[in-house]
Structure 1
Amino acid sequence: MRTIKLGIIDDSIFCRNLTKLQLMNVDSVRFDFVLEAESIADMETKVNQSEVPSLILLDIMMPGIDGISGIPIIKALYPNVHIIMLSDVTNQSIIRNSILAGAYAFVKKGTNTGDLVRIIRDVLAGKSYACPELIKSLFFGLQKPPQDRRKLSERELLIVHQLLNGLSFAKIASLIKTSIEKLQELIKRILIKLNISNQAKFST
């Protein structure tokens, strides 16, 4: 049976325990929670005390450093880790920003076990997800006047159309011969050119 080393960062001990209980009852794969923290700061104190996780389930709204701002910190400590946002947040801009910051997927807390396991497996297999909020923003961006669309280069238009066609970040990055990180920077540039706000304020 395959073993997947997971980390979970969430300020709610109830949510952490519920997620662990949910995933520990899966028959097809063994999840080993090698890192558990209640905040980004708490995670930093545990880096040398735990094994390196393959994937981290990360909450967004937490005291101190929010999840999105914490992504670069996590990446600096665990360069090869995959991050999935696991949150109750419904704000489209915040969800979109989490994907653009480097998360591979956004999953709503309470998602059924089968879907959560599938997403974890897919992400570890090299797939990444453009969240519906990002796709919706790009779709409406293309409905703007022609002069706005003309701001995009051929390469940027290709990226938008491939996202709208449902391709993952990994496939698009391969198609245009770049990294996922560079692709995310290109998408940020596209959002700015289309005057789509990707700024979000966080409360703790």
Structure 2
Amino acid sequence: MQSIKLGIVDDSVFCRTLTKFQLLNINSVHFDFVIEAESILDFQAKASSADIPEVILLDIMMPDIDGISGIPMIRALYPNVHILMLSDVDNPAIVRKSLLAGANAFVKKGTKAVDMMNIIIDVINGSSYVSPELTKSLFFGIQQPPQSRRKLSKRELNIVHRLLEGFSLDNIAKTFEITVDKLWQLINVILKKLNIASSVRVPSV
């Protein structure tokens, strides 16, 4: 049986408990929560005495330091860890900023346990994940103004058009004969070219 070491950072005791309950009741994979924290500062304090997690489930809306701002702080401790944003926020701007900050995946709270298990395994194996609906929403509005489109190559424009049409990352990657991870790198390049996320702020709680 595959065993995966997880960390979870969420200021809500209820959300942490529910997520752990869901994953710990999966029989096909053994999930071991090696670190549990209620904030980024709490995570930093506990990191030195905990086993190194393979994946960290990270909430966005937290007091003091939000999850997105905490990504580089977590990577300073664990450079190779996979970070999965787990949030009830589905604002495209927040998704963009999470991915540009270095998150490997963005998953809504309430996702079925089996789906969460598969996403975690895919992320460990080198894939990135955002639901097709959220991926599509990343690029709403870039059709205007025209000068923004001129920043993109023909290939990049084709990728954007397919995303807007609702194609999955797997489908698009196969069309361009590249890996999903390579596609995700291209998407991040597109986002940076269009300066989409530069002025996004994470709301405080």
TM-score by length of 1: 0.83
Equivalent residue for 2:168? 166
Residue aligned with 1:3, SS: strand
Aligned to 1:190: 193
| 2:149 aligned with 1:135 | no
Question: Does 2:200 align with 1:199?
Answer: yes
Counterpart position of 2:88 = 88
Work out the number of aligned pairs and report it: 196
* DSSP 3-state at the match of 2:31: strand
Aligned position for 2:157: 157
Distance change (3 Å), C-alpha of 1:137 and 1:108: closer
Equivalent pair of 1:59/1:87 in contact (CA under 8 Å): yes
Name the CA distance, whole Å, in 2 between partners of 1:150 and 1:158.
13
Any gaps of 5 or more consecutive residues in structure 2?
none
Per-residue deviation, 1:167: 2.9
Determine if contact 1:54/1:82 at 8 Å carries over to the other structure: yes
Q: How far did residue 190 of structure 1 move?
A: 2.8
Check conservation: 1:9, 1:43, Cα contact below 8 A: yes
The residue identity in structure 2 corresponding to 1:33 is F
Separation in 1, partners of 2:111, 2:103: 17
Report if aligned partners of 2:59, 2:87 keep a CA contact under 8 Å in 1.
yes
Secondary structure of 1:26's counterpart equals coil
Shift of residue 157, structure 1, vs aligned partner:
3.3
Q: Distance in 2 between matches of 1:184 and 1:83?
A: 18
Q: Distance in 1 between matches of 2:197 and 2:71?
A: 22
Contact 1:9 1:57 in 2 (8 A): yes
Unaligned 5+ residue runs, structure 1? none
Native 8 Å contact 1:40 1:65 kept in 2? yes
Task: Note if contact 1:55-1:83 (Cα within 8 Å) is conserved in structure 2.
Answer: yes
Secondary structure at 2:23 match in 1: helix
Residue 77 of structure 1 deviates from its aligned partner by 0.8
Distance in 2, Cα, partners of 1:75 & 1:155: 31
Give CA-to-partner distance per residue, 1:69-91, whole Å, 9 cap, x none: 10111111111100111111232
Any idea what the Cα deviations from partners look like across 1:140-174, whole Å, max 9, x if unmatched? Answer: 41x33544322223464365357555336982554
Q: Provide, for residues 82-101 of structure 1, a one-character-per-residue CA deviation record: whole Å limited to 9, x for no partner.
A: 01111112322112211221
Cα distance change on mapping 1:96 and 1:4 into 2, 3 Å: same
- For 1:62 and 1:52, locate their aligned partners in 2 and report how far apart those are by CA, in whole Å: 23
**Runs of 4+ with deviation above 6 angstroms:** none
Structure 2: how far apart are the matches of 1:20 and 1:155? Answer: 41
